[in-house]
Structure 1
Amino acid sequence: MARAYRFELVKLVSQWRIRLLVLACWTAPALFVAGVSRQSTLPTDTLFGRWMHATGWAGPLVMLGFAGTWALPLLTSVVTGDVFACEDRLGTWRHLLVAVRSPRRIFAAKALAGLTVVLLLVAGLACSSTAGGLLAVGNQPLVGLDGHLLAPGDAALRVLLAWTCALAPTLALAALGLLGSVALGRSPTGLLLPALVALALQVAQTLPLPVAVRLALPGYAFLSWNGLFTEPAQLRPLLVGVAVGLVWAVLATALALLLFLRRDFTNPAHDGSGRRAVTVGLLPLAGLVAVTVAVIAGTTDPLGSGIGQEKVQRSVATAFAHLYRIQTGQLHRPAVTEEQLAVTAACTKGDGRQAQEGPGNDWRCVVSWHLPGVRLTGQAVYQLDVASDGRYVADGDGPKEVNGYFLVRTPLGDAPNPLWQFDGTVGLLPTPPPKG
């Protein structure tokens, strides 16, 4: 087994496109993050993009968002989507069977070699983007998605956990690549299967799906890692997404092995069996989705979006309180605590007469707070764009002294206003209200 694995790994790494991918994954993210961090315009439409000037830990999170959307599906397609099909194109199955003498050993060696290369590419993306961010900006605290500051050590741990959790959907896509490579033979559809499935999952996540269906899709962990950057962390959606991804990886790999063991290697013109690919490959995965939806629906509202008025108000108020304290420190004003501010938020969707739930860019929040020794109540207005996955962008709409301008005048000069715009997230699964 060790010799077969080493042989398959050397065969994979000897391909010029694999070497080029390894080189790109270990160098390009560092250059990208360092270059963007030095620009005057930041990718504010990307999660943590607005903080790339402030801390080096924002860079690997921006790269993780890009990787989950585009890079990782394409990488798994190139690596595992071709690991079996290349033998069909070259006509080398008979030679491989004579050398190894065990279809199970051949499958295990190819699957492990593909997994090794995929892990090497993911590690390159994570390490390179982290190095680029730290070298370009520095080891500074990171502002979480609820506005609280994460110390550099805490930020490093959560970045590592976020990339580790993203391995679950990556393994699911890699297993789908194995399944497509075995089931479809030399057909290019097998090579493109992980990328096509990832594209379909991205489209599905933008639709107003019930939360039970959304969490049952194998790519949800590419989105739910942002729950690590709140306090307390929103772990339930993340753990569900990781578990679903791992179950998909195991089932798709087992189906690929079943198809491989049933294959007739005496036919040199084998191009896969469409009927067998549907009955052994597609139907079990569709059944897995149905079972997962039923299990998740038993613990939450099976038809709801998971985004409700109370959750939005609680999230906006918490984020504003933390960010207000950061702004207070910038302006060298007397320090206040969240308890002293007693921040509340009143949020409405649309004209207030429709259902106060669900995603949309028509959420409006009025935030109120109190300062010690001041009788008047402070108020600020925000326009919210809430996405289907619970992430939202709050855009300040006055007053100008609080959130109406992107800079604040500090004793040391102008500085970015943390209350002007900020990112936040709403947990889709029911969570108990915070204590106190």
Structure 2
Amino acid sequence: MTAATVESRAPAARPVSVPRGYRFELVKLLSQWRVRLLLLVCWIAPALFVAAVSRQSTLPTDTLFGRWMPATGWAGPLVTLGFAGTWALPLLTSVVGGDVFAAEDRLGTWRHLLVAVRSPRRIFVAKALAGLTVILLLVAGLACSSTAGGLVAVGDRPLVGLDGRLLAPSDAAGKVLLAWLCVLAPTLALAGVGLLGSVALGRSPMGLLLPAVVALVLQLAQLLPLPVAVRLALPSYAFIAWNGLFTDPVRTGPLLISSAVSLTWAVLATSLAHLLFLRRDFTHPVQDGAGRRARAAALLAPAALVVLTVVVVAAAIPSAGSGIRQDKVQRSLATAFAHLYRLQARQFHRPDVTEARLRATAACTKGAGRLAAQGPGNDWRCVVSWHLPGVDATGQAVYQLDITADGRFVADGDGPKDVNGYFPVHTRAGDAPNPLWQFDGSVDLLSTTPKG
């Protein structure tokens, strides 16, 4: 009787708190050799890459801001950001988020963990927070390392924006920081997909690869001539929406929409992973991950999220076209040319002329006039005209444009030689890159009316 009374008065075991579980899971992640290697690479390799490329004559001109790497240290982190959004961040979320739960299945340690923590809900929260912390450390390493490499190799110099406007170093620094912060939203979306795959697929390699596979499919979709609403409804667009920060005025519409879509993906994917984790039977000796129905639901979840976000965004943006129209291309090209013309004038120490007095305009055709002047393609041809005060003749320059489906274009000069015919220009201080030889620009896919 006494023994029974003492036993009934024994305090019940309390679950381990989330902070303690989080510290435990974080230590486990950081003790893995592959995570340590990724941290080392992300905090060192970008600086070495940016510093080395900035000193080379051959530049990654196919990457946004690549041609400006020898001119300013703020171009390096943007080139790294373009590469990270395409390849690095999807792979990092796969290695970390896609394995944070599956590792317990491989090691067979779920029962030990449940006995120690005594709360599946707290285990999920601790693991998700630990994985998110490591991912943020990796992203911070890419950003800080590439910025340090650029500033040390080239220096804190002005940056040319996508509209040709020269950004002061302080302004460029703020926009670079904001651009890296903007890609956190799609990174969280892929991390949520990684958690879902890790919970539902267990030790299966597909769980580890799910974020990378989803990211690859979404990036391939961005290469297609999709309607604007569909393009913005994919979280992969958030990896390139930061381009709108480097125009004047800043294009906040695509950036906010794509960020909202990415955060929606992150919340829904993580919530589904949490639900599947709580419903899992950990007492089964051979069961690995969720049941068959749950696995099928997890694999179909990305497709369901695409349908959901496309329907919502399409209802909010009544636009069925590509967003690339003749008037938009002409306006963007003329604006960029006017700003870059002033930059070239400073190189030759010519009298400064404002953009308003230049009155630069552009006339563009597609397919030598045989095709409708809209949509992406490398067959755009434009003639830019401008006027100088006190000069009766109208200046003209020809450009061949390659416009991608996301609105970015590369304008390649096709004469006259004294304006855009050569890459280097001879100045009093020596040879310098010709800003009008070849330059990047961007078309606002959401704008509907001409800007005054």
TM-score w.r.t. the length of structure 1 is 0.98
Task: Call closer, same or farther: CA 1:218–1:274 in 2, change over 3 Å.
Answer: farther
Is residue 2:250 matched to residue 1:229?
no
Provide the residue aligned with 2:65 in structure 1.
48
**TM-fit CA distance, 1:415:** 1.2
Provide the residue aligned with 2:161 in structure 1.
144
Is residue 2:322 matched to residue 1:305?
yes
Q: Distance in 2 between matches of 1:385 and 1:90?
A: 51
Provide the residue aligned with 2:216 in structure 1.
199
Provide the residue aligned with 1:219 in structure 2.
236
**TM-fit CA distance, 1:409:** 1.6
**TM-fit CA distance, 1:219:** 1.2
Provide the residue aligned with 1:176 in structure 2.
193
Q: Distance in 1 between matches of 2:224 and 2:288?
A: 35
Q: Distance in 2 between matches of 1:199 and 1:30?
A: 26
**TM-fit CA distance, 1:432:** 4.4
**Partner amino acid for 1:7?**
F
**TM-fit CA distance, 1:54:** 0.2
Provide the residue aligned with 2:4 in structure 1.
none
Provide the residue aligned with 2:434 in structure 1.
417
Provide the residue aligned with 1:344 in structure 2.
361
Is residue 2:145 matched to residue 1:123?
no
* Contact 1:88 1:186 (8 Å CA) reproduced: yes
Is residue 2:267 matched to residue 1:250?
yes
Is residue 2:19 matched to residue 1:19?
no
Provide the residue aligned with 1:278 in structure 2.
296
Q: Distance in 2 between matches of 1:152 and 1:33?
A: 18
Provide structure 1 residue ranges, at least 5 long, that are not aligned to the other structure: none
Q: Distance in 1 between matches of 2:449 and 2:30?
A: 49
* Contact 1:185 1:270 (8 Å CA) reproduced: no
**TM-fit CA distance, 1:296:** 2.3
Compare 156-165 and 291-300 and name the one that shifted more: 291-300
Provide the residue aligned with 1:153 in structure 2.
170
Q: Distance in 2 between matches of 1:77 and 1:392?
A: 31
Provide the residue aligned with 2:14 in structure 1.
none
**TM-fit CA distance, 1:351:** 2.6
Provide the residue aligned with 2:19 in structure 1.
2
* Contact 1:300 1:430 (8 Å CA) reproduced: no
Match of 2:334 among 317, 332, 349: 317
| Aligned-residue CA RMSD (Å) | 1.1
**TM-fit CA distance, 1:238:** 1.0
**TM-fit CA distance, 1:290:** 2.3
The Cα offsets for residues 136-158 of structure 1, whole Å up to 9 and x where unpaired, read as: 00000000000000000000000
Provide the residue aligned with 1:392 in structure 2.
409
Query: Residues 346-385 of structure 1 correspond to what in structure 2 (within 5 A)?
Result: 346-385=363-402
Provide the residue aligned with 2:47 in structure 1.
30
* Contact 1:168 1:246 (8 Å CA) reproduced: yes
Q: Distance in 2 between matches of 1:348 and 1:88?
A: 59
The Cα offsets for residues 21-67 of structure 1, whole Å up to 9 and x where unpaired, read as: 11111111001100111111111111000000000000000000000
**TM-fit CA distance, 1:212:** 1.1
Match of 1:105 among 103, 122, 135: 122
Is residue 2:350 matched to residue 1:333?
yes
* Contact 1:36 1:42 (8 Å CA) reproduced: yes
* Contact 2:368 2:381 (8 Å CA) reproduced: no
Is residue 2:161 matched to residue 1:165?
no
Compare 263-272 and 52-61 and name the one that shifted more: 263-272
The Cα offsets for residues 291-311 of structure 1, whole Å up to 9 and x where unpaired, read as: 322232234454211111111
Q: Distance in 1 between matches of 2:368 and 2:315?
A: 33
Q: Distance in 1 between matches of 2:114 and 2:26?
A: 17
* Contact 1:28 1:128 (8 Å CA) reproduced: yes
Task: Call closer, same or farther: CA 1:282–1:153 in 2, change over 3 Å.
Answer: same
The Cα offsets for residues 372-395 of structure 1, whole Å up to 9 and x where unpaired, read as: 000010000000000000001000
TM-score w.r.t. the length of structure 2 is 0.94
**Partner amino acid for 1:325?**
R
* Contact 1:57 1:139 (8 Å CA) reproduced: yes
* Contact 2:214 2:302 (8 Å CA) reproduced: no
**TM-fit CA distance, 1:429:** 1.0
**Partner amino acid for 1:278?**
A
SS at match of 1:375: coil
**TM-fit CA distance, 1:249:** 0.4
Q: Larger radius of gyration, structure 1 or 2?
A: 2
**TM-fit CA distance, 1:210:** 1.2
Q: Distance in 1 between matches of 2:301 and 2:31?
A: 35
**TM-fit CA distance, 1:369:** 0.2
Match of 2:225 among 203, 208, 215: 208
Q: Distance in 1 between matches of 2:301 and 2:76?
A: 38
**Partner amino acid for 1:199?**
L
The Cα offsets for residues 142-201 of structure 1, whole Å up to 9 and x where unpaired, read as: 000000000000000000000000000000111111000000011000001111111111
Q: Distance in 2 between matches of 1:298 and 1:77?
A: 32
Percent identity, aligned pairs only, is 76
* Contact 2:399 2:414 (8 Å CA) reproduced: yes
Provide the residue aligned with 2:281 in structure 1.
264
The Cα offsets for residues 103-145 of structure 1, whole Å up to 9 and x where unpaired, read as: 1000000000000000000000000000000000000000000
**TM-fit CA distance, 1:431:** 4.9
Q: Distance in 2 between matches of 1:285 and 1:55?
A: 40
* Contact 2:43 2:141 (8 Å CA) reproduced: yes
* Contact 1:91 1:268 (8 Å CA) reproduced: no
**Partner amino acid for 2:212?**
A
**Partner amino acid for 2:353?**
V
**Partner amino acid for 2:270?**
T
Aligned length: 434
